[in-house]
Structure 1
Amino acid sequence: MSEQVSARREGPGSAAEPERVSSWAVGFAIFGGIMLVLIGTFQAIQGLAAILEDKFYVVAPHYTYEIDVTAWGWIHLLLGILAVVAGFVVFSGRVWARAIGIAFAVVNAISQFLFLPYYPVWGLTMIALDVAVIWALCVYGRRAAEQSGY
């Protein structure tokens, strides 16, 4: 059974009706922030692996998107660091913080898609985690944030 936070909604035509905010919504936002920190850490490590050992990732020949592995390393390192910061900002509970978290999850998913020829299973796993973060941060709305105090 989920615990619920109760709040009053006042507006034109409403008689201060109690509105319930599910603790699941708060839990999903926390999940999204934690996963964004984890994804960013993984991506930064992925970037470091490409920077430090250029031959670590092997690309399929004649792939549409051919980018130097070291360049990919720097891209992933930068995106990873920014995603970790965005994950911590999500814990503030602000709408703009969740929007930034969603934006970084989208950018990460796109970068992982372009990285598929280098490490396909890992790329698909990261894309799935990004989709989970996007979903978790979208479930938690502004009204829930204001009413729960998170």
Structure 2
Amino acid sequence: MTSPASTPTRPALNDMTIFAGVLILITGLLHLMAAIAAIAGRDIFVVTEDQVFLVDVSVWGWVHLVIAALIIIAGIGVVTGKTWGYLAGIVMASVSILDNFLFAPIYPFWALVIIAIDILVIWALARQLSAG
């Protein structure tokens, strides 16, 4: 009697994976909406002269646009069950937290909502990787 050869396992595509994938895609879309508003020069952002990280709002828009593209790519990887998508999702959610922490003085509520979603994404993806 022979034992079956071990096959490499990849993270399973289950409810938690779909949850994390959908949340990270939502985060990417939220970054995209913030990018469009900032690049278009909308007056929804609060810019004061006494901010620690004083950067032009349109620069933040371009930063959000790049991050949105990378987050959406990672989200597609997560939803399709790719291991690189899980790792990229955790990295991009971490980058998103840092970005929104710096963006919080300009648009506080929006930044805090995205940070909360990113924390859920990191939790769900880390849980999947540790279970897999």
Q: Unaligned 5+ residue runs, structure 1?
A: 1-9, 12-22, 145-150
Alpha-carbon offset, residue 28 of structure 1: 1.3
More relative contact order, 1 or 2 (CA 8 Å, 6+ apart): 2
Q: 2:79 aligns with which of 75, 84, 91?
A: 91
**Segments of 4+ in structure 1 off by > 4 A?**
none
Aligned residue in 2 for 1:27? 15
Question: Quick check: which one's strand share is greater?
Answer: 1
Provide Cα deviations, 1:29-70, integer angstroms capped at 9, x if missing partner.
111111111110111110000000253312233111111100
Alpha-carbon offset, residue 130 of structure 1: 0.3
CA RMSD, Structure 1 to Structure 2 (Å)? 2.1
Aligned residue in 2 for 1:64? 52
Question: What's the TM-score, normalizing by structure 1?
Answer: 0.75
Question: What's the TM-score, normalizing by structure 2?
Answer: 0.84
Larger Rg: 1
Q: Unaligned 5+ residue runs, structure 2?
A: 7-11
Q: Tell me the distance in 1 between the aligned counterparts of 2:131 and 2:40.
A: 46
Q: 2:67 aligns with which of 79, 103, 108?
A: 79
Q: Tell me the distance in 1 between the aligned counterparts of 2:91 and 2:49.
A: 31
**Percent of pairs identical after alignment?**
34
Retained in 1: the 8 A contact 2:86–2:129? no
Q: 1:103 aligns with which of 74, 91, 100?
A: 91
